[in-house]
C-alpha cells in the first residue's frame, strides 16, 4: 500500500468553549479544508494539540474523523506518544477506522537511545499494518535523528517516508537523494517553496487549515517552472505566518477559522488568547485577502 496525495493539512482539533473535545466540530473543519483542494488530512499531531489530550480523547477524535472522512480524502493519523503502548493503542484505532497511513514523532521527554526509538517505530508499524511516516520535528520533540539513522529507519519497507519539519534543507536534500523511493513531506510552512524546488513529495502544515490552496498553488507552480507565481504565493503565506507568530500560530489559526464560522473553539491552556493588537492585524489580513467573517 502506498499513500496518495501531496498536500495535507495538519488538522486543528476542535474544542468547545470549556476546552473539552468537540466531535461535532470535526465535520465542518474537514469540509472547510477539503474545499480548498487539498489531498488529505494529517490528524492528532502538533497542530492538533495532541500532547495536551488524553488517550481516550485522541481515540475519540481519530474515530470520528475516520468515520466521517475515510472516503473523502487520504487520512494519516499521528499516533506518536511518550510511551510505546499508547502509540500502539492509537495505531490500532487508525487501522480499525480505515486510515490510509500513520505517523509518529519519536518518543519524547526522556532521552532514548536509537535502538529504543527503532523498536518504538517497529511496534507502531506492526500494530497499524499501514504505511508509517516518521515525524521529524527536533525543535519540539527534543530528538534530532541524524541522517544516517533516519536512512536506517527508512530501510524498513513498512516505513513509507518522513514528515520533515525542520529548516535544514541540506539534510532534506540528502535524504531525498539517498532514499528516492520514499515519500518526503515538508512541514515548515514558511519555507515550502524551497522544499518544493528541492523535490518534496508534498507538504503537511498547520497554516494549510486556512490557506491550503496556496500550498497547492506553490507545488503546481514549481512543477511547471513558474517561479514568479510560486514566489508570489509563498509571500502571501509568509505575510500570514508573520502575523501568526504574533498571535501564536495555533491561537491565531483558531481565531481565523472561528471568525469564518468554522467552529474550532479555543486552544487549550496554557495557550493564552492572542493580544488585541495582533488580532487586529490578523483580521485586517483576512479582510484584505477575501476571507469574509461570518460572526460580525
Q: How far apart, in Å, are the Cα atoms of 193 and each of 221, 227, 249?
A: 10, 9, 20
SS3 of 48-71? CCHHHCCHHHHHHHHHHHHHHHCC
Domain assignment present for 1? no
Annotated catalytic sites, by residue?
135, 163
Residue 219: is its pLDDT beyond 50? yes
At 221-258, the pLDDT tens digits run: 999 999 999 999 999 999 999 999 999 999 999 999 99
Going by pLDDT thresholds of 50, 70 and 90, the confidence category of residue 296 is very low
Domain assignment present for 2? no
| Nearest Cα to Cα of residue 174 among 136, 143, 148, 203 | 148
Residues pairing with 15 in the sheet:
21
Is the distance from CB of 4 to CB of 18 less than 8 angstroms? no
Supply the pTM of this predicted model.
0.96
Domain assignment present for 296? no
Distance CA 9, CA 203 (A): 8
**For the chain, what is the domain count?**
1
Residue 89 structural domain:
7-288
Residue 187: is its pLDDT beyond 70? yes
Domain assignment present for 295? no
At 67-115, the pLDDT tens digits run: 999 999 999 999 999 999 999 999 999 999 999 999 999 999 889 999 9
Distance CA 226, CA 228 (A): 6
pLDDT at 295: 58
Domain assignment present for 177? yes
Which CATH number belongs to the domain containing residue 76 in this structure? 3.20.20.70
Domain assignment present for 175? yes
Amino acid at each position: 500500500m502506498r499513500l496518495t496525495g501531496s498536500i495535507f493539512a495538519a488538522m486543528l482539533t476542535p474544542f468547545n468553549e470549556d476546552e473539552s473535545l468537540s466531535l461535532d466540530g470535526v465535520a465542518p473543519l474537514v469540509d472547510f479544508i477539503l474545499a480548498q483542494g487539498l489531498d488529505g488530512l494529517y490528524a492528532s499531531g502538533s497542530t492538533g494539540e495532541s500532547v495536551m489530550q488524553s488517550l481516550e480523547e485522541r481515540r475519540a477524535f481519530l474515530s470520528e474523523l475516520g468515520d466521517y472522512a475515510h472516503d473523502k480524502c487520504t487520512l494519516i493519523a499521528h499516533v506518536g506518544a511518550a510511551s510505546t503502548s499508547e502509540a500502539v493503542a492509537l495505531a490500532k484505532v487508525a487501522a480499525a477506522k480505515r486510515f490510509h497511513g500513520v505517523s509518529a514523532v519519536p518518543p519524547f521527554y526522556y532521552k532514548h537511545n536509537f535502538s529504543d526509538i527503532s523498536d518504538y517505530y517497529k511496534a507502531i508499524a506492526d500494530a497499524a499494518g499501514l504505511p508509517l511516516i516518521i515525524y521529524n520535528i527536533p525543535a519540539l520533540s527534543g530528538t534530532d535523528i541524524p541522517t544516517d539513522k533516519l536512512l536506517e529507519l527508512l530501510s524498513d519497507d513498512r516505513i513509507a517516508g518522513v514528515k520533515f519539519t525542520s529548516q535544514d534543507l541540506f539534510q532534506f536534500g540528502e535524504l531525498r537523494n539517498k532514499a528516492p523511493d520514499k515519500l518526503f513531506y515538508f512541514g515548515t510552512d514558511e519555507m515550502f517553496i524551497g522544499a518544493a524546488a528541492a523535490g518534496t513529495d508534498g507538504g503537511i502544515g498547520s497554516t494549510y487549515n486556512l490557506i491550503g490552496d496556496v500550498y497547492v498553488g506553490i507545488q503546481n507552480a514549481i512543477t511547471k517552472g513558474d517561479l514568479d507565481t510560486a514566489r508570489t504565493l509563498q509571500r502571501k503565506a509568509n505575510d500570514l505566518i508573520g502575523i501568526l507568530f504574533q498571535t501564536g500560530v495555533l491561537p491565531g489559526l483558531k481565531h481565523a477559522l472561528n471568525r469564518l464560522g468554522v467552529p474550532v473553539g479555543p486552544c487549550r491552556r496554557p495557550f493564552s488568547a492572542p493580544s488585541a493588537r495582533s488580532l487586529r492585524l490578523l483580521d485586517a489580513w483576512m479582510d484584505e485577502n477575501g476571507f469574509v467573517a461570518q460572526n460580525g
